[in-house]
Structure 1
């Protein structure tokens, strides 16, 4: 049976553990349809004359320039589940396709998401991770450290590793035992949720298939950017009464000029927070 809302027990588990999985969001056939759509875009636009590489638009703020990303991030089924964590007013802060190619070394070091986002140590953000292909230990699924969201933002070290998919190659500067990690295995169509302070990472994809995840960061309107001069979000449900974010609309067509200009504006503002103090300021949108 597909999940249509969080039960009280699931809400408690999320706040106890800092994550929740697996949630049956859609059928595997529908997930395959979404996968087909992003792979058609990859095929059709790879050689297009875009201002930035296609991989950048997929990997960072895809909802700004790709209607399918905005549509999936605004899907009622996802929002019904997220409402159980954030409440009725929900903003989309970011959305991205997190893809690991088969038999590659790309990985994600153990880290806390909120470390460099400029949003502070908050409860009002949740990450939804939707599997469009199987996410298994072999394909490099995420590992979560249970209850680690109850810590503040911990010290991180910038590794700048070439195979690290994070903007700075950031890694939490504490020892984490393999026994403390929970493998977040998801089948296509399933979803996980995690808190912005939950320590997590993932290994390389040693399988023969692509590991394709669609990742959305949702925030409550009461959250505010603390580092950059301005921040942006898309209203997904309810109302944005505080007005802490510049509200943006869904893109009308793929990579239209207005959306590309907005994307460039957003990346310059967000880079001020995401790359503050980094020696590799081009890595985020390189």
Structure 2
């Protein structure tokens, strides 16, 4: 019988490294040509839809559940090489929990404070989630690549503080209340088409983009079907691979065109429900969640 360490995307050593460190990189997801084409497709979409009468700012759709309204993001979330690697961690049954575009413009001050992904999602401190970060432009210390803290996924969910800083790309500007020494930060350098994987409890963040190019990442959060929302709220997934025998989440269709009337209606419903979960007990407001 096939085990998680024998799936075609990762060898045993890579799987062991992921569980030891809480992350794995660099992995090959797209060819350089495919990554360049995906970036061109994204930037064409940005030009077409920036002032095209969307109900919410274009940036909101890019930053929150982009896979629900942008076919390209849903397609990239099902990239075979990425799913092969994720299968090595989660097993053959994989759901897309969220996907978003994390973009830092050139020469800007936007950052991501050090945090754990699972802090506010209502899923608990689980092993059944893995995040893939796919680079569509170079991710380097100069462009504000992610920094991971090795082995930090072995902690529980740690206390966080909300900053709601305008330069913070996170929904609440959340920051883990633990001092992270510079020498404990591992820069996750990726070339276009490469991706990393990290655990939902791995402490990570990123600095500003001081380079002359945009830093573009497609971030996809995958879960096993046996996970469940612990708040009692509705929650949503999109099928990626295998089967969902548990049905703990409501399933979404992949969009057929950019920002269709049907997908925008679904998007609004999801965003309203997720705001109840992600902004619970918040003492400020978020530009992407309200």
Give, in whole Å, the separation in 2 of the partners of 1:282 and 1:200. Answer: 20
CA contact (8 A) 2:130 2:223 kept: yes
Q: 1:214 aligns with which of 191, 214, 218?
A: 218
| Structure 1 residue aligned with 2:76 | 72
> Is residue 35 of structure 1 aligned with residue 24 of structure 2?
no
| Structure 1 residue aligned with 2:5 | none
Instruction: State the shift of 1:282 in Å.
Output: 4.0
Q: 2:88 aligns with which of 84, 101, 105?
A: 84
Per the normalisation by structure 1, the TM-score is 0.97
CA contact (8 A) 2:104 2:215 kept: yes
| Structure 2 residue aligned with 1:203 | 207
Give, in whole Å, the separation in 2 of the partners of 1:73 and 1:42. Answer: 19
SS at match of 1:138: coil
| Structure 2 residue aligned with 1:60 | 64
SS at match of 1:97: strand
Instruction: State the shift of 1:29 in Å.
Output: 1.5
Give, in whole Å, the separation in 2 of the partners of 1:126 and 1:268. Answer: 24
Give, in whole Å, the separation in 1 of the partners of 2:289 and 2:59. Answer: 9
How many residue pairs get aligned? The number is 283
Instruction: State the shift of 1:25 in Å.
Output: 1.8
> Is residue 17 of structure 1 aligned with residue 27 of structure 2?
no
CA contact (8 A) 1:227 1:272 kept: no
| Structure 1 residue aligned with 2:4 | none
- Root mean square deviation of aligned Cα: 0.9
> Is residue 44 of structure 1 aligned with residue 48 of structure 2?
yes
Q: After the TM superposition, list the runs of 4 or more consecutive aligned residues in structure 1 that deviate by more than 4 angstroms.
A: none
SS at match of 1:33: helix
SS at match of 2:24: strand
SS at match of 2:283: coil
Q: 2:115 aligns with which of 107, 111, 115?
A: 111
| Structure 1 residue aligned with 2:127 | 123
Instruction: State the shift of 1:228 in Å.
Output: 4.8
